[in-house]
Chains A and B, each alone.
Chain A
Amino acid sequence: MTSLLATTNMTWYLFPLALVVSLVYSASRYELPSRIIRHAISCFVRIILFMAVILALLWWLSFRL
């Protein structure tokens, strides 16, 4: 288990976590299942894009350091 944890990049944990947050947040906004799913997908994409932008920014800032 320890070796598995050590070899897993923590960044990958973002995806299931973003999915969970999107689903629960959307479920608290609407009642209609189709609307919840649609809102959750867009929310998930926005979170991932935002994090990707932050990642790119940090990568650019740390370039050649």
Chain B
Amino acid sequence: MTCWAGAATAKGIEFQPVGTVAERWARNNLETNRKASDMMTTDRVDLKNRYLAAVLAFLVPGLGHFYQRRWFKGAIYSVCILTTFFWGMHLGRWKIVYFRWERGNKTVGYLSQVCVGLPALPALIQSWRYGPQEGHFGRRGSGRLSELEETIDASFRGRFVPTETGRMTSLAAGPAQGRIQLQPVPGEFGDEVRGVFTGTVAGQTDVVLQLSGPVEISPRLYASEGIPADLLDGQTDSDLPTVFVSDRRYIRCEVVDENSAFQSSAGYLEGTVPRPFWNWFEVPLEEPAKQDLHRQLGKFVELAQILTWIAGLLNLLAIWDALEGPAYGYGDEKEEEKKEKETDSDDGPPGKPSQKTPDAEKAGSGSGAAEPVGGKTQ
């Protein structure tokens, strides 16, 4: 059974045999397979080492395409995906990307965020670093406080509060600002803390205070902790509300009364020391800080999270594109097909001479191809 295909020309519709049904089916199948092959990996795109490109695309959106010298697409991916991700991070005050995987507290959304690659990967390291920290919820209820385990040598901002029994009468209560040095040393009954503060206290300059334990200090790694506003400003008004901050670390230690023969306490220093960027960035967020974030930003917390999730999901498309090439093809297939058709019609495949039908004569000249329903059979 031979199939016939007709094409409208200026002289009418011309029919030409296109082979048997089986041949036609095989040809169509071949054509479909060729198109599917083009969809997956187009030969016109040099993917270089596609696996390396996929890894690069995962690490930094667009980097895999830059490696493949696909500059335009690389620029689109890097600008769009990274902008969306950091836009979300900014809206969420840089606290919405973190990884925590505990019973009842799992950041499932991180599985999407991590697809952005390097910008989200530190959360895994921070989660691992954050886990082993020990501590307990301090009396301020704003975070975990623990004993000093490492040497502290940093700028200090806070206040000095003398005890009623302290004999160091030369210093009044007031703001304290300067440098604090603390270190654990072996003592008579185990480890003790010794240190010194140099700076300004209640307006007096060049004050030197000898410090000792017990020391209360918030964890080294903390995404955000509640610190009374008066401590941040170095004021003495204790009625100010708690402020959640990331880049400061709460510390409190005793001041030794040098006039006393028994090294009794003359008061205490309470304030904050700086917390480095890598000790709060993408560190798991504790519940009080999370609630504070929701209280301050409201629904924008969800929006910020969604933006980071979308950025991660979009990068999956970029990774796949670096691995397999464009999904639908190069983009000028229709033009190519037109050219091919034109070339084919110019060459004219060998076949039966054209036949005119009465209908075609009535229709006159037409554009486009016309095929009889069901094909003309012989």
Contacts and interface: CB of A to CB of B under 8 A. Distances in A.
Interface of A: 2, 5-6, 10, 13, 17, 20-21, 23-25, 27-36
Contact of A28 (B307, B326, B330): B326
B219 interface: no
A30 B39 CA distance: 9
Contact of B314 (A24, A33, A34, A35): A24
Contacts of B299: 10
Contact of B318 (A24, A31, A36): A24
B300 A21 contact: no
A6 B303 CA distance: 13
Contacts of A23: 76, 80
A24 B77 CA distance: 6
Given A10-B303, A17-B307, A36-B73, A31 B325 contact: yes
B332 A24 contact: no
A21 B310 CA distance: 8
Interface in B290-313: 296-300, 303, 307, 310
B326 A30 contact: yes
A30 B83 contact: no
Contact of B81 (A2, A5, A24, A29): A24
**Interface secondary structure of B, over-half rule:** helix
A44 to B, nearest CB: 12
Contact of B297 (A2, A17, A28): A2
Given A5-B300, A24-B77, A25-B317, 19 more contacts: A10-B299, A17-B84, A20-B84, A20-B310, A20-B314, A23-B80, A24-B317, A24-B318, A25-B314, A27-B73, A27-B317, A27-B318, A28-B317, A28-B327, A29-B328, A31-B44, A31-B325, A31-B326, A31-B329
A29 B317 CA distance: 9
Given A17-B310, A21-B310, A31 B45 contact: yes
Interface in B234-254: none
B331 A30 contact: yes
A30 B307 CA distance: 24
Contacts of B44: 31
B91 interface: yes
Nearest to A19: B80
A32 B329 CA distance: 9
B216 to A, nearest CB: 31
B279 interface: no
Contacts of A20: 80-81, 83-84, 310, 314
B333 to A, nearest CB: 9
A31 B42 contact: yes
B101 interface: no
B72 interface: yes
B320 interface: yes
A9 B44 CA distance: 45
Contact of A5 (B77, B297, B320): B297
A30 B42 CA distance: 10
A28 B39 CA distance: 11
B117 to A, nearest CB: 15
A9 B134 CA distance: 43
